[in-house]
Amino acid sequence: MASTTISDLRSYLAENPGAVIEDVARDHGVSPRAVIEALPFDLVKLRKGSSFAEVMQDIAQWGEVTLIVHTSDGIFEFSGSLPAGEIGRGYFNLMQPKGLHGHLRHERCAVIAFVERPFMGKSSAFVAFLNVDGGVMFKVFVGRDEARALRQDQLERFRTLAERIGIVSAN
């Protein structure tokens, strides 16, 4: 396969804005970060990875969301409220005894992407935590209501948070 340029990616994503990021990365031989950065300008805001703890603490107040970890071997989904966390011993520790809990290497987060785009015929909005290698650590999706529409209260918090966090670039 010929080498993919940023122009190639931008053209592909302009025609396929809802393409699965990890699939596009694999198919074009680039990192997921490169795919996110190639999305149309109005669909993504890139923010400083050093804001990891602040972003996670805010998301912990949103209510039910969906957290997705997408690897080459599977896609793991958790729906529910994310627990609050704190930094200790080199990790951002999710502080909950049951349900979702664990220890995240927050210092490896280079960029936080706030993405709003169509996906499978519906609007979607998610926060992607991108590591120093250009991979997706995980994504947190704005929740949906009973009619499967994005929860407006969470979408407002998502947009407010994206504006409050320091900018990496205008992509």
Domain membership of residue 52 as a residue range: 41-169
State yes or no: pLDDT of 33 exceeds 50. Answer: yes
Stated pTM of the model? 0.92
Residue 3 lies in a domain: no
- CATH number, domain at 66? 3.40.1570.10
Domains in the chain: how many in total?
1
- Residue 72's pLDDT band, with cuts at 50, 70 and 90, is confident
Instruction: Assess contact for 160 and 150: CB atoms under 8 A.
Output: no
Rounded CA separation 59/53 (Å): 10
Residue tagged 């490169």 (tokens): 34
How is residue 40 written in tokens? Answer: 């149309």
Residue 34 lies in a domain: no
Residue 121 DSSP one-character state: T
Residues 38-53 pLDDT 10s: 999 899 999 999 999 9
